[in-house]
Amino acid sequence: MVRPVLNVRFFQTDAGTEPVRDWLKELPAVDRKTVGEDIKTVQFGWPLGMPLVRHLEGDIREIRIGLNNRIARVLFTLEGSTMVLLHGFIKKQQTTPKPDLNLAKDRLKQLRGK
């Protein structure tokens, strides 16, 4: 059996919520499946680059996911051999919106502050 290169976990807020997991639950089943498959590709194939994974800034990278009629992004960081999913969103413009990147940065600070 092939073992994953990376473990995956969801970022957890101080209140105990997992924003990326909650976001995934809101997506249609077909989109959830696509997002999950792309996360799994990164998990088993790491290290990967474009077109699936792009370095954004500092320790933050994005998984670039093409859905049927839109584009999703999952922002993550690496903590040792664990991929921590910080933020997920549907992309509506060419570049990664600053508020989405800033939210991932804030969650990274929370993660490392613990």
- pLDDT for 19 equals 98
Q: What is the pLDDT of residues 14-55, one digit of tens each?
A: 999 999 999 999 999 999 999 999 999 999 999 999 999 999
Conformational region of residue 3, where left means phi above 0, alpha means psi within -120 to 50, and beta covers everything else:
beta
pTM: 0.96
Query: pLDDT-based confidence at 114, cuts 50/70/90?
Result: low
Higher pLDDT, 1 or 36: 36
Query: From CA 112, how far away is CA 91, in angstroms rounded?
Result: 26
Rounded Cα distance between 40 and 26, Å, is: 19
Specify whether the CB–CB gap between 20 and 11 falls below 8 A: yes
Residues 6+ apart with CB under 8 A from 94: none
**All domains in the chain, ordered by first residue:** 7-113 (3.30.2310.20)
Higher-scoring residue by pLDDT: 17, 1:
17
Average pLDDT over residues 54-73: 96
The 3-state DSSP class for residue 29 equals: helix
pLDDT above 70 covers a percentage of the chain that reads 99
The confidence band for 93, taking pLDDT boundaries of 50, 70 and 90, is confident
Name residue, tokens 């990147």: 101
